[in-house]
């Protein structure tokens, strides 16, 4: 993948850091039922941390703004995230809250169910963002999600937007209600999955390519620059103001664990944008990275390196 050079060579991620407690089972239990699991592991996770690690593994410099507890999980997360090349000076330690955790049930076919306990992630405040305003204003891109308070996310987006920094919003987990247009108007690229697109637009369902196009147009009406509506194994649809909608075909691979596939997609998309690719080219790169990630267990551990994605694309070129 070749992009144009950007003089601002780093991304800032504002978001969560969790320890993922992952149990694999043939199927998830019904209400009141107990099933026997196949395997249990712990993995560093959290959408913000995953995406920051993704940017670093895919070749970009990245700073993470977030918080963890003063506990063993916090120690482990910081060691893992910094070990992947992410700069963590802006990740604070909280005395009176635990590090966030995610309890994840993964079915043998790769689909997952996730319960998040936010812990220290709830303590990410607009003041923390203001303290890093100069860093955000000088970045090539800001990447945010919704696992930390919306007030902090909104402040980060505002700072970036006013400085002309590209803003990428991964609107997960799905918000309880649509996001305010005042926030969406400052977003350059939004990357909802099917459920998130439904919640954000009010559409009953988003399943097909035509549904995704309709959802994308509604998001553009709310002020977003470009909407990338993800359709899981069926790829994604890019809806922008400068061209007709473009469907990015999915890659047919054997899914082991879909945890962090969306985070991998967002990170790779951000790297592509940082390097000057247009939205469609960046999505082709992101789609390939996500396809690799679902073939591996875990969150950050599943995110591929840049060389792996480049090799995958050489074997599976874009079918646009």
Reported as a single tens digit per residue, the pLDDT across 11-55 is 999 999 999 898 999 999 999 999 999 999 898 999 999 999 999
Look at residue 319 and tell me whether its pLDDT is greater than 90: no
Instruction: Work out the angle between the directed axes of helices 261-274 and 279-293 (0-180°, nearest 10).
Output: 150
263 is catalytic: yes
Pairing, β 100-107 against β 112-117:
antiparallel
Q: What is the pTM of this model?
A: 0.91
Helix (H) or strand (E) holding 141: strand 141-144
3-state secondary structure of 212: helix
Percent of the chain predicted with pLDDT > 90? 82
- Considering the domain boundaries, does residue 24 fall inside one? no
- 120 DSSP 8-state letter: G
Distance in angstroms (rounded) separating the CA atoms of residues 255 and 270: 24
Note whether 191 and 230 are within 8 A (CB). Answer: yes
Instruction: Give the model's confidence band at 255: pLDDT under 50 very low, under 70 low, under 90 confident, else very high.
Output: confident
Note whether 53 and 84 are within 8 A (CB). Answer: yes
pLDDT for position 117: 92
**Predicted confidence (pLDDT) per residue in 52-70, tens digit:** 999 999 999 999 999 999 9
Residue-number span of the structural domain to which 138 is assigned: 10-17+46-96+121-315
Question: Count of domains in the chain?
Answer: 1
The residue to which tokens 């993922």 are assigned: 20
Say which residues have a Cβ less than 8 Å from residue 146's Cβ, sequence separation at least 6: 153, 170, 171, 172, 173, 175
For 38-132, list the strands marked E by DSSP: 39-45, 61-69, 91-94, 100-107, 112-117
pLDDT for position 111: 81
pLDDT for position 177: 85
Average pLDDT, the chain: 93
Say which residues have a Cβ less than 8 Å from residue 300's Cβ, sequence separation at least 6: 43, 44, 45, 49, 50, 53, 54, 80, 81, 84, 260
Instruction: Give the model's confidence band at 248: pLDDT under 50 very low, under 70 low, under 90 confident, else very high.
Output: very high
* CATH at 199: 3.40.1190.20
- 97 DSSP 8-state letter: S
pLDDT for position 8: 61
Q: What is the CA radius of gyration of the chain?
A: 18
Q: Tell which wins on pLDDT, 168 or 177.
A: 168
- Considering the domain boundaries, does residue 110 fall inside one? no
115 by Cβ neighbours in 10 Å (0-12 / 13-18 / 19+) ranks as: exposed
Q: Taking CA 64 as the corner, what is the angle to CA 182 and CA 238, rounded to the nearest 5 degrees?
A: 50
pLDDT for position 3: 42
Instruction: Give the model's confidence band at 4: pLDDT under 50 very low, under 70 low, under 90 confident, else very high.
Output: very low
Distance in angstroms (rounded) separating the CA atoms of residues 193 and 114: 15
pLDDT for position 317: 83
Instruction: Give the model's confidence band at 256: pLDDT under 50 very low, under 70 low, under 90 confident, else very high.
Output: confident
Q: Which of 71, 211, 263, 279 is catalytic?
A: 263
**Which whole number is the average pLDDT over 276-282?**
95
The residue to which tokens 């990275």 are assigned: 289
Distance in angstroms (rounded) separating the CA atoms of residues 203 and 198: 5
- Considering the domain boundaries, does residue 23 fall inside one? no
Look at residue 193 and tell me whether its pLDDT is greater than 80: yes
Look at residue 246 and tell me whether its pLDDT is greater than 50: yes
Say which residues have a Cβ less than 8 Å from residue 214's Cβ, sequence separation at least 6: 201, 203, 206
**Predicted confidence (pLDDT) per residue in 129-167, tens digit:** 999 999 999 999 999 999 999 999 999 999 999 999 999
Look at residue 2 and tell me whether its pLDDT is greater than 70: no
């Amino acid at each position: 993948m070749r992009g144009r050079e950007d003089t601002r060579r780093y991304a800032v991620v504002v978001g969560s850091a969790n320890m993922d407690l992952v149990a694999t089972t043939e199927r998830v239990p019904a209400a009141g039922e107990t099933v026997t699991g196949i395997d249990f592991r712990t993995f560093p996770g959290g959408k913000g941390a995953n995406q920051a690690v993704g940017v670093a593994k895919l070749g970009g410099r990245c700073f993470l703004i977030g918080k963890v507890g003063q506990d063993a999980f916090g120690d482990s997360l910081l060691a893992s995230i910094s070990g992947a090349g992410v700069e963590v000076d802006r990740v604070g330690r909280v005395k009176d809250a635990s590090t966030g955790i995610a309890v994840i049930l993964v079915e043998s076919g790769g689909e997952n169910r996730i319960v998040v306990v936010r812990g220290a992630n709830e303590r990410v405040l607009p003041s923390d963002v203001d303290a890093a305003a100069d860093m955000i204003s000088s970045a090539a891109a800001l990447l945010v999600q919704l696992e930390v308070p919306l007030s902090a996310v909104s402040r980060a987006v505002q700072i970036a937007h006013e400085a002309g920094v590209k803003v990428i919003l991964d609107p997960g987990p799905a918000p309880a209600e649509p996001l305010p247009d005042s926030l969406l108007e400052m977003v350059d690229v939004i990357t909802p999955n099917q459920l998130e697109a439904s919640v954000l637009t009010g559409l009953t369902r988003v399943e097909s390519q035509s549904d995704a196009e309709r959802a994308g147009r509604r998001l553009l009406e709310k002020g977003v620059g470009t909407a990338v509506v993800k359709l899981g194994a069926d790829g994604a649809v890019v809806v922008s103001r400068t061209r007709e909608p473009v469907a990015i075909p999915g890659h047919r691979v054997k899914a082991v664990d879909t945890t962090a596939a969306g985070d991998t997609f967002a990170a790779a998309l951000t790297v592509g944008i940082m390097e000057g690719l247009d939205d469609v080219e960046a999505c082709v790169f992101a789609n390939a990275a996500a396809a690799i990630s679902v073939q591996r267990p875990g969150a950050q551990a599943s995110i591929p390196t840049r060389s792996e994605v480049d090799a995958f694309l050489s074997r599976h070129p874009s079918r646009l």
